[in-house]
Structure 1
Amino acid sequence: MLSLAGTRKLTLFLPSVGRMREEEIERLRGVVRDCVTKHLYTSAIFFADKVAAFTNDPADIYMQAQALFLGRHYRRAFHLLNASKIVLRDLQFRYLAAKCLEELKEWDQCLSMLGEAKVDEDGNVVMYLDKDCEDHEINISSAICFLRGKAYEALENRAQARLWYKAAIKADPLCYEALECLIQNHMLTCEEESKLISSLQFGSEDGWLSSFYSCLIKKYEKENVVEAKFRDLENESCKSDQSDPSFMRTLKSNTDLLACKAEYYHQCGEYQKCFELTSVLLEKDPFHLKSTLVHLAAAMELGHSNELYLMAFNLVKDYPQKALSWYAVGCYYYCIKKYDVSRRYFSKATSLDATFPPAWIGYGNAYAAQEEGDQAMSAYRTAARLFPGCHLPALYIGMECMRTHSYKLAEQFFMQAKETCPSDPLVCNELGVVAYHMQEYKKAVWWFEKTLVLIPNSLSEMWEPTVVNLAHAYRKLKMYREAISYYEKALVLSTRSLSTYAGLAYTYHLQDDYSTAITYYHKALWLKPDDQFCTEMLSWALVDESRRGVDHILEQQ
């Protein structure tokens, strides 16, 4: 039992605690914030718990929950927030509680915590209005819409996920993650992407961001249009901070921006240019994964197996749990034509991340390379279902149908690909090939000419087959002058094409210009001495030329 003197000491002590409490609590709040910045989460949790116990203030309870979340104590953080009576009245409390459920993979509960809401086809939603956020803050409504999208995607409801991601970026254009999900997961068609970007309400100082976003989406416009976009972005950067010219220089050499340019080069078929740019980017930032993916694609097209091996080795070492790493391994084996092995690694990539488009395409291509059509079609169909905004699965399905001579069915899939991406010249080229095989030569000419119009930059060797195909179609229509013109254009692009020399020789042969035909048959046979068509037609041309010579002698007599 305390003596009277002890009681007096206790009585004297208590008021001093009361006088010091606010000052001490504010100091402890500062300690919590400092622990978080130094990533000392256990210390942050310890002191935040004491602050919340002293004050029972909602702001301090939220700070404690934040510390628990950062320390990966998701269940405890959710319990703390859920026990708070304010959780259903305050959006920030509700959002953090839902984030905890996201980390716990309890997606249905996550959606339930966020509450009931509806969104229309354009991504418009009337909810979570928060007009008081600062210019440097992302609207809480946007963050909540984005979290809804992630939850629906995890539940494999990709249609709803797409709508909520659109709602997130429309609620606040600064929510870049939502746009990234829409673009990388191919949730929107080319037209839908452009429409979405044009509908965003950017701030007065965010002109550069609008230009940047327009560079991120699919780039099938003409070269001068795309280059103008990049120039506009650099100009906007200069305008946004004229007092600091270094900002413009920094953005011009920004890795994300240069990765966009590399993507554009790859889409244009400028694989060497793309490879050189991504090589520079990866020297600057070896772990920039977007550049890495484009670099792998360019190396595949160029057949750089050694580069693919080194990239795959480093990726597996640094990121063993990422789909990109095993996709790189699959690319290496595909490049050296070990298709069975490549399939295993593409499959492993899809098992790690079912929403990684390149792995599904690679998986189908590996089957197609060995003419295992059913398995290839299965992989392409899965890709088409998962990535409705990507036209490549439908394009490859059409190619498989063409391989089995199902031309009408192939045409249907090519038209489907064209609806998704109207500006890809490769789709028009394949439609031309189908029309040619169905002996619809006028239609083939129309598609091949449209292909040449849609090619974003000047003609390169990549498009030489299209020029030859157009020449073949003109020859079938007996428009020999036009056919010869396009064969000669093809020779400017490549001088090692058997099809070009054979086609040119046959066209001259049909015009009874036997000597010129013989010259081109010889050039074709120089490239492939055992070509049956050229060998046979050369014999006929020689006979025809000798007969003409005999007839000429007889006429003179």
Structure 2
Amino acid sequence: MLALADAQRNDNDAFWLAQVHFATGNYTRAQAFLAKHDLITRNPSCRYLAGHCLIKQGRYSEALDVLGDRNPTHLIANTHAAANKRKAQAGADAQLKPGLPGSHRPGAAPAATAIAARDPKKGRAGHGSAEDATNRRYEAAMCYLRGLCFAKQNAFDRAKECYKDAVLIDVQCFEAFRQLMQNSLMSPDEEWAFLEALDFDSITLPAPPGGDAASAASASQEAAEFTRMLYTTRLSKYRNPAEFTTAYDSLSTHYHLASNPDLLLARADLLFTQCRYRDALEITESVLRDDKYNFAVYPVHLACLYELRMKNVLFLVAHDLADTHPEEPCAWLAVGTYYFAIGRVPEARRYFSKASTMDVHFGPAWIGFAHTFAAEGEHDQAISAYSTAARLFMGTHLPQVFLGMQNHALNNMTLAEEFLRTAHGLCASDPLLMNEMGVVKYHQDRPKEAAAWFERALAVAAEVDGEPSAWLAARTNLAHAYRRLRLFARALAEFDEVLRLGGRDAAIFSAKGLIFLEQGRPGEAVAALHEALAVDPQDGIATELLGRALDETGRLDAAALEADEDMVAFEDVLGERRARASERERERARGGKGKSRAEAGAGILMSPAEGSLMELSEDE
């Protein structure tokens, strides 16, 4: 076909032949063919394909020379006007017909079907001809390729801007959007702001058979809302969980995507961030039953297995992946996770390192690699590894949280607080982060501020319906803060709640014993400390506190005994005096019959030491 049309210099035929070479893996041949026919300079689609061929060969600098290092930002539509238009339209729809986004419209084709049937020759509203629309798509794709090149060169800031420009130019450039979300290049706040800036109204669809312009507009609007909901499910799960749930429910019910693996993975990710590990595991298992080697699901699946201490299942998963797909980073992530779960840290470090070497942008492998140093107390190496993860994944707050924890372990409280505040700036709704902030405040002798952070962590965990057992540490820390504030009743209530939820730890009973000692209740302290030693007989703190409690109990018993003896002696003396007084009274009554009252009185006053106050008062 190309030979027949060569006289007419048909660029499309040359482009499709180059694509055939590309699809068969002959990247060098495809790139050489495009250069030979001088298609790179005059055709955007051919320039895109040539750059892609060079990227596949690892020649990133040459790819940037072909693609250019500047993005065509002049092609970005007025996103503010588009956003205002979308909000106004949403308000009008809400007044006319309340309900979930993307509700049924009479005569409108399902958005999923409409998008799949989209005619590439149709132009977009407000974007000129069909040829202009095609060129825009290739310009957006070239922005995406520039981002890949910059990312390979570790210029992540420039890669981020390229990916953002690609989606702003063509909102359907999903590959660029996925890179932004998958590599956590934006903070949760940035992600939601970026979503609002996207021009979803640029998505247009042809009218359905027999339809008119109104039907086409309705179908296009539904397609735009459908795409927006799909993108919403990809955003960070730490912010706006209610909006995520709304989009998820609408896609599951109205568009019948309840069994879609990507949608299920987004739901599992949300549940994992809420520490609902069993619920998340049920979803990932259902996905893997239908598609055993869906590697996008495995990071969340493996994390749930680790949190639930399912070591045997981890072993089977890791063994299967290592045997069947040794070229996948997920396989060695699974092996490293298994070794980490059974406490063989050096082996875990080796396999986490292998996974991160195979894919330098594989975030779970980097985090696991850093965890192995933290588990062995190698804080300097752990800080170095977490710093690398923070540089690679600028939008996620977790590396900053872990850096704060490591500096706290080194007693660098000021630096730990700085890292945690940076993490709080990226994500202000993570209970784990709030708990760590409280720990730092506690060790800075600021128990009132620490208690406020712990209370906020538990409140947020309750809002997202997290598993109570997952937040035992935060509740325990809150009880210790109350103890430092001498709010003993509230501290005991929190400790009792921890024990009720299954946190049977010697330190809990020791803390209760200490509170009882502070309250002057050594007997109850002894009972609590015996419970602590029953859990851990070698606990030094419980042993020392028990000795103090027993001494205090002994002193109280001795004081009580001495008080009892003094009371008995006093009663004996009082009894003797009463007996002598009674005897004198009887003698006076017998001897006073022949005497005058004055004589009788004189006889009594001769020995006042022998008498009583009652007798003296009577004589007077």
Give the deviation of 1:475 after TM superposition.
1.0
How many corresponding residue pairs? 495
Instruction: Tell whether the 8 Å contact from 2:77 to 2:168 is kept in structure 1 after alignment.
Output: no
Change beyond 3 A, Cα 1:362–1:215: same
Q: Residue 236 of structure 2 is aligned with which of 218, 222, 229?
A: 218
Specify the alignment match of 1:475 in structure 2. 483
Within the alignment, does 1:519 sit opposite 2:527 as a pair? Answer: yes
Moved over 6 A (4+): 134-138
Q: Residue 415 of structure 1 is aligned with which of 418, 421, 437?
A: 421
Greater Cα offset, 479-488 or 420-429: 479-488
Q: For 2:306 and 2:132, how far apart are their aligned partners in 1?
A: 44
Query: Which residues in structure 2 correspond to 1:227-306 (within 5 Å)?
Result: 229-235=244-250, 247-248=255-256, 251-306=257-312
Specify the alignment match of 2:501 in structure 1. 493
Aligned to 1:530, the other structure's residue is in SS state coil
Instruction: Tell whether the 8 Å contact from 1:118 to 1:125 is kept in structure 2 after alignment.
Output: no
Q: For 1:441 and 1:148, how far apart are their aligned partners in 2?
A: 50
Give the deviation of 1:470 after TM superposition.
0.9
Instruction: Tell whether the 8 Å contact from 2:2 to 2:10 is kept in structure 1 after alignment.
Output: no
Within the alignment, does 1:179 sit opposite 2:187 as a pair? Answer: no
Query: Which residues in structure 2 correspond to 1:381-396 (within 5 Å)?
Result: 381-396=387-402
Specify the alignment match of 1:190 in structure 2. 188
Instruction: Tell whether the 8 Å contact from 1:169 to 1:176 is kept in structure 2 after alignment.
Output: yes
Q: Residue 147 of structure 2 is aligned with which of 146, 149, 170?
A: 149
Within the alignment, does 1:327 sit opposite 2:280 as a pair? Answer: no
Instruction: Tell whether the 8 Å contact from 2:513 to 2:526 is kept in structure 1 after alignment.
Output: yes
Instruction: Tell whether the 8 Å contact from 1:216 to 1:260 is kept in structure 2 after alignment.
Output: yes
Instruction: Tell whether the 8 Å contact from 2:276 to 2:466 is kept in structure 1 after alignment.
Output: no
Within the alignment, does 1:109 sit opposite 2:62 as a pair? Answer: yes
Instruction: Tell whether the 8 Å contact from 1:170 to 1:201 is kept in structure 2 after alignment.
Output: yes
- Residue type of the partner of 1:233? Y
Query: Which residues in structure 2 correspond to 1:24-103 (within 5 Å)?
Result: 48-53=1-6, 56-85=9-38, 87-103=40-56
- Residue type of the partner of 1:536? E
Change beyond 3 A, Cα 1:554–1:123: farther
Change beyond 3 A, Cα 1:379–1:125: farther
Give the deviation of 1:181 after TM superposition.
0.9
Instruction: Tell whether the 8 Å contact from 2:77 to 2:199 is kept in structure 1 after alignment.
Output: no
Q: For 1:278 and 1:481, how far apart are their aligned partners in 2?
A: 43
Specify the alignment match of 2:406 in structure 1. 400
Return the TM-score normalized by structure 1.
Answer: 0.82
Give the deviation of 1:149 after TM superposition.
0.9
Greater Cα offset, 95-104 or 545-554: 545-554
- Residue type of the partner of 1:367? F
Give the deviation of 1:142 after TM superposition.
2.1
Change beyond 3 A, Cα 1:237–1:260: closer
Relative contact order higher in (CA < 8 Å, ≥ 6 apart): 2
Instruction: Tell whether the 8 Å contact from 1:208 to 1:237 is kept in structure 2 after alignment.
Output: no
Specify the alignment match of 1:338 in structure 2. 344
Unpaired runs of 5+ residues, structure 1, are: 1-47, 240-246
Instruction: Tell whether the 8 Å contact from 1:98 to 1:113 is kept in structure 2 after alignment.
Output: yes
Change beyond 3 A, Cα 1:57–1:118: closer
- Residue type of the partner of 1:76? R
Q: For 2:68 and 2:467, how far apart are their aligned partners in 1?
A: 55
Change beyond 3 A, Cα 1:299–1:123: farther
Aligned to 2:296, the other structure's residue is in SS state helix
Instruction: Tell whether the 8 Å contact from 1:470 to 1:486 is kept in structure 2 after alignment.
Output: yes
Specify the alignment match of 1:32 in structure 2. none
Query: Which residues in structure 2 correspond to 1:406-445 (within 5 Å)?
Result: 406-445=412-451
Specify the alignment match of 1:23 in structure 2. none
Query: Which residues in structure 2 correspond to 1:362-377 (within 5 Å)?
Result: 362-377=368-383
Q: Residue 202 of structure 1 is aligned with which of 200, 203, 226?
A: 200
Aligned to 1:252, the other structure's residue is in SS state coil
Instruction: Tell whether the 8 Å contact from 1:130 to 1:139 is kept in structure 2 after alignment.
Output: no
Q: For 1:290 and 1:511, how far apart are their aligned partners in 2?
A: 55
- Residue type of the partner of 1:527? V
Query: Deviations along 1:91-150, whole A, 9 cap, x unmatched?
Result: 222222222222222222222222352478x99699xx9644599988223212111111
Aligned to 2:526, the other structure's residue is in SS state helix
Unpaired runs of 5+ residues, structure 2, are: 79-125, 202-220, 568-620
Larger Rg: 2
Instruction: Tell whether the 8 Å contact from 2:277 to 2:307 is kept in structure 1 after alignment.
Output: yes
Change beyond 3 A, Cα 1:151–1:545: same
Query: Deviations along 1:4-42, whole A, 9 cap, x unmatched?
Result: xxxxxxxxxxxxxxxxxxxxxxxxxxxxxxxxxxxxxxx
Instruction: Tell whether the 8 Å contact from 2:321 to 2:331 is kept in structure 1 after alignment.
Output: yes
Within the alignment, does 1:358 sit opposite 2:311 as a pair? Answer: no
- Residue type of the partner of 2:250? N
Q: For 1:544 and 1:196, how far apart are their aligned partners in 2?
A: 65
- Residue type of the partner of 2:23? L
Instruction: Tell whether the 8 Å contact from 2:525 to 2:549 is kept in structure 1 after alignment.
Output: yes
Q: For 1:409 and 1:495, how far apart are their aligned partners in 2?
A: 31
- Residue type of the partner of 1:496? R
Instruction: Tell whether the 8 Å contact from 1:52 to 1:64 is kept in structure 2 after alignment.
Output: no
Instruction: Tell whether the 8 Å contact from 1:346 to 1:362 is kept in structure 2 after alignment.
Output: yes
Greater Cα offset, 54-63 or 459-468: 54-63
Within the alignment, does 1:466 sit opposite 2:484 as a pair? Answer: no
Q: For 2:552 and 2:185, how far apart are their aligned partners in 1?
A: 60
Change beyond 3 A, Cα 1:51–1:157: farther
Q: For 1:331 and 1:63, how far apart are their aligned partners in 2?
A: 45
Return the TM-score normalized by structure 2.
Answer: 0.74
Give the deviation of 1:467 after TM superposition.
0.9
Percentage of matched positions with identical amino acids? 33
Specify the alignment match of 1:507 in structure 2. 515
Pairwise CA RMSD of aligned residues? 2.8
Change beyond 3 A, Cα 1:102–1:88: same
Change beyond 3 A, Cα 1:123–1:422: farther
Aligned to 2:233, the other structure's residue is in SS state helix
Specify the alignment match of 2:89 in structure 1. none
Change beyond 3 A, Cα 1:422–1:533: same
Aligned to 1:512, the other structure's residue is in SS state coil
Greater Cα offset, 334-343 or 89-98: 89-98
